[in-house]
Chain A
Amino acid sequence: MTETLTDAEPLSYEQALEHFDPVLGFEVHVELNTKTKMFSSAPNAFGDEPNTNVNEVCLGLPGTLPVVNGKAVEYAVMLGLALNCQIAERCRFARKQYFYPDTPKNWQTSQYDEPIAFDGYLDIELDDGEVFRVEIERAHMEEDAGKLTHAGTSGRIQGADYSLVDYNRSGIPLVEIVTKPIVGAGARAPELARAYVSAVRDIVKGLGISDAKMERGNVRCDANVSMMPKGTTTFGTRSETKNVNSMRAVEHAVTYEMRRHAGILAAGGTIVQETRHWQEGSRTTSSGRPKSDADDYRYFPEPDLVPIVTTAAWVEELRAQLPEPPAERRRRLLAAWGFSEQEFRDVVAAGLLDEIEETVASGVAPSVARKWWMGEISRLANARDLEPAALGVQPATIAELNALIEQGRINDKIARQVLEHVIAGEGAPEEIVSARGLEVVSDDDGALTAAVEKAMAENPDVVEKIAGGKLKAIGALIGPVMKETRGQADAGAVRKIVLTKLGIEE
């Protein structure tokens, strides 16, 4: 018997697409930001001491009973509506049974045959404005599991000596959104993957039903990828890459899986249906556990919870409360800000719409707000391999920096330095400017005039040109003055002094 080939060198992206078409599918888990958990009154909070946001229900102690959080149901319906889904008139919970230490009851309370929302769609706008419709199979309610830490030399599950469990996350309300298979995205599949997850994040953020921070796991994506030979319509075997937790990781993971599948299939091999783990460092995936008995979950209706019935009146009441859909909001902001289509798409792709909107609301001109977020802040974020929005810069900080510039107290260059100090945690811009003495050199004590005089004395040829009417030559004096004042001169003030000295009136 010949051994089946299950591994091969990945093809290049171009080669992969030459021979195969990708089929995608996503399961996105959204943590709701209710005050309490899905089935108990323990707090839904992040970052507290381990096992302190738990009670008997979260720990799955025998004899305890779950009670549904009404707010979580309301949020799930709102999300279903925003995903253009049908809302079930009647639905129920089910037990999904498996043994794993992050789930102390040995089952996860979820929904199986009767999800609260189903048959929806999302129109996803790609970077160039093309719209791709993603069909939603279902959105169902369930509870989150506890958090495992693997102890051992590697810090990873492979080779761990033991694991530690914190159940603070156990029971946090989740909505899992499952797409139908997505075909026809072709070379744009990775871009679509990122745009889809981004759209879901924007929706839950807009609805205010989740903190929507991917880096905290509020929005988590499992990406299913398979490849089928061009010209065929039968789906190939899929792999499921788990917990891909940033927009760019989603894009990279889909790209890599497309190449990996194509490599194996092109070599005549077989794709193993399995869970894959995303490796951020190498931008590859590694083999997890094969789909096997472990997926025989023996779902059955949860006997401890009664069914949920939604009335048309209630659903319509919630529908009326929905905020402006993200796509409509984008059209409105594009018109209000006066950016070019390309500029605006870049802002959307960078995930900076909220930040710029808030900055503009704090009184900064839209073009200035865009320059800050798309320029300096994006550059600093890139250098740290973070999404710009994850850098922690507040719109109010930008408004403050901009005000300092407009008051002539700092210049653009110093403002950028101040921003770095803000990111380093040194405080607000105003505090940093005074603590570090970064205010532009004032001429109250003649220091600026002295610096200008020195520059003029050292550059007589430039002075001659200016005196001859070539005012642009003043630029050649700015450099030496900046050097003299350690960058803290205001170019406008320098210009004024030069002109006064030469008796030129503008």
Chain B
Amino acid sequence: MSEISRTDVEHLAKLAHISMTEAELEKMAGELAVIVDSVRSVSEAVSGEVPATSHPLPLTNVFREDEVGHVFTAEQSLLNAPDAEAGRFKVPAILDEE
């Protein structure tokens, strides 16, 4: 059984900008441990000689030619923007970095 602590979940929730209650943190710690164990069971099905992969497709080097395609107008770019000013997306002040 994997160990996923309440503190681990709290840390991940903070990084992911998800607010969670105490009860949810406890519950999720248990559930995540089960998920990790389930995923781990895959390694029991393959021998140690099978190389790890990050991609299921047997493809490499899928490249695009360096040719300019379509672009949006500023109006189109900003269609989903909650707020905009001077052709730019307007966002709340960011305090912790330049």
Contact = CB atoms under 8 A, between A and B. Distances in A.
B91 A306 contact: no
A41 B55 CA distance: 24
A50 B87 contact: yes
Interface string B65-89: 1111111111001101000011111
B55 A301 contact: yes
Contacts of A243: 98
Interface string B2-15: 00000000010011
Contacts of B74: 49-52
A359 B62 CA distance: 43
A99 B54 CA distance: 24
Contacts of B92: 162-163
B88 A41 contact: no
Given A36-B69, A50-B86, A101-B94, A307 B11 contact: no
Contacts of A289: 96-97
B98 A43 contact: no
Contact of A54 (B59, B65, B67, B72): B72
A36 B68 contact: yes
A55 B74 CA distance: 10
A277 interface: yes
Given A69-B66, A301-B54, A301-B55, A162 B91 contact: yes
Contacts of A52: 71-74, 77
B61 interface: yes
Interface string A156-170: 111011111111000
A148 interface: yes
A50 to B, nearest CB: 4
Given A36-B69, A52-B71, A150 B64 contact: no
A73 B88 contact: no
Nearest to A275: B97
Give the interface residue-count category, chain A: 35 or more
Interface in A259-300: 275, 277, 288-289, 293-294, 296, 298, 300
B7 to A, nearest CB: 13
Contact of A165 (B55, B65, B89, B98): B89
A298 B16 CA distance: 10
Given A51-B77, A51-B88, A306 B67 contact: no
Contact of B91 (A163, A242, A300, A305): A163
Given A162-B92, A163-B91, A306-B60, A55 B55 contact: no
A67 interface: yes
B27 interface: no
Nearest to A156: B98
B40 interface: no
A71 B91 contact: no
B42 interface: no
Given A150-B93, A165-B90, 18 more contacts: A35-B67, A41-B64, A42-B69, A42-B71, A49-B74, A51-B74, A55-B70, A68-B64, A69-B64, A70-B61, A72-B66, A92-B55, A148-B94, A157-B93, A166-B89, A167-B77, A294-B96, A306-B55
19 contacts: A35-B68, A36-B64, A36-B67, A41-B69, A42-B68, A42-B69, A43-B68, A49-B87, A70-B61, A97-B15, A156-B98, A157-B95, A160-B94, A164-B91, A243-B98, A275-B97, A293-B11, A296-B11, A301-B54
The 5 residue pairs across chains A and B that have the minimum distance between CB atoms:
A41-B69, A301-B54, A70-B63, A164-B88, A71-B66
Interface of A: 34-36, 40-43, 49-56, 59, 61, 67-73, 90, 92, 97, 99-101, 148-152, 156-158, 160-167, 242-243, 275, 277, 288-289, 293-294, 296, 298, 300-303, 305-309
Interface of B: 11, 14-15, 17, 54-55, 57, 59-74, 77-78, 80, 85-98
